[in-house]
């Protein structure tokens, strides 16, 4: 019986370790994609694109292990929440990886246009903010830190505020010089991808909170309210 319990505990711990590893890969993808845009580094952009399959495979393996654990071990209460959380968080991280790959692809296209340093710096700042959110929520997950998870959740509107500010900045450039429209459109999609990654980080924070407490966060997710939200790039 002791052997069975030990094996079960090891399976749960392994699941957490695999999700943490996936989180590290997703965080690296995001950081590298931002660096590729900021420095017009095409080799790095290609590396981000090429590494995406690795994230997909690891996410599928985590899902397979979680389903197998549920079927064979029939976990209940916190163990069940832990298993389901691992599966749900891995899906959020895989999507972050997809968005980072999309950013890298936009970087390749932008390489053929004139540099726009002020806008690139704005993208870099937003990227650094989002990357810090992802890192913080992954730390919260690996350490079971409910306060840190709640902190990420409560600051979701900061990413939205950055996006809206960048959206207005891009519009100003496009209206002032129509020759920048193509490059600005790609930068706008990059900004939107970053905003979505921020949303995934907030989703992970909600999952971590439920895993630890068994309760949903009660209040509505904070959002930056602006008339210039870009429905056009949804």
Tell me the pLDDT tens digit for each residue of 49-91. Answer: 999 999 999 999 999 999 999 998 889 899 999 999 999 999 9
Q: State mean pLDDT over 133-138.
A: 96
Tokens 């939107």, located at residue: 192
Handedness of CA 53, 58, 64, 67 (dihedral sign): negative
Q: What is the pLDDT of residues 8-49, one digit of tens each?
A: 888 899 999 999 999 999 999 999 999 999 999 999 999 999
> What pLDDT score does 216 carry?
84
The CATH number for 2-233, chosen from 3.60.70.12, 2.40.30.260, 1.20.58.220, 1.20.1630.10, is 1.20.58.220
Whole-prediction pTM: 0.90
Please return the burial class of 174, using the count of CB atoms within 10 Å of its CB with bins 0-12, 13-18 and 19+. Answer: middle
Alpha-helical runs (H) found in 74-218: 77-110, 117-143, 146-154, 156-176, 181-213
């Amino acid at each position: 019986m002791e052997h069975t319990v030990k094996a079960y505990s090891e399976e749960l711990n392994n699941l957490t370790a695999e999700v943490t590893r996936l989180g590290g890969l997703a965080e690296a993808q995001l950081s590298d994609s931002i660096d590729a845009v900021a420095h017009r580094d095409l080799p790095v952009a290609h590396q981000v694109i090429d590494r995406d399959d690795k994230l997909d495979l690891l996410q599928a393996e985590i899902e397979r292990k979680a389903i197998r654990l549920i079927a064979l071990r029939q976990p209940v209460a916190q163990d069940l929440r832990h298993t389901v959380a691992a599966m749900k968080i891995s899906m959020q991280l895989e999507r972050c990886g997809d968005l980072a790959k999309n950013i890298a692809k936009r970087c390749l296209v932008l390489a053929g246009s004139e540099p726009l340093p002020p806008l690139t710096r704005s993208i870099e700042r937003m990227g650094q903010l989002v990357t810090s959110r992802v890192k913080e929520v992954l730390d919260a997950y690996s350490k079971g830190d409910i306060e840190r998870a709640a902190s990420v959740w409560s600051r979701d509107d900061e990413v939205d505020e950055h996006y809206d500010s960048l959206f207005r900045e891009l519009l100003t450039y496009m209206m002032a010089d129509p020759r920048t429209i193509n490059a600005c459109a790609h930068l706008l999609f990059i900004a939107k991808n970053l905003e979505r990654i921020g949303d995934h980080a907030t989703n992970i924070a909600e999952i971590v909170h439920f895993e630890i407490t068994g309760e949903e966060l009660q209040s509505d997710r904070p959002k930056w309210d602006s008339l210039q939200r870009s429905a056009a790039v949804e």
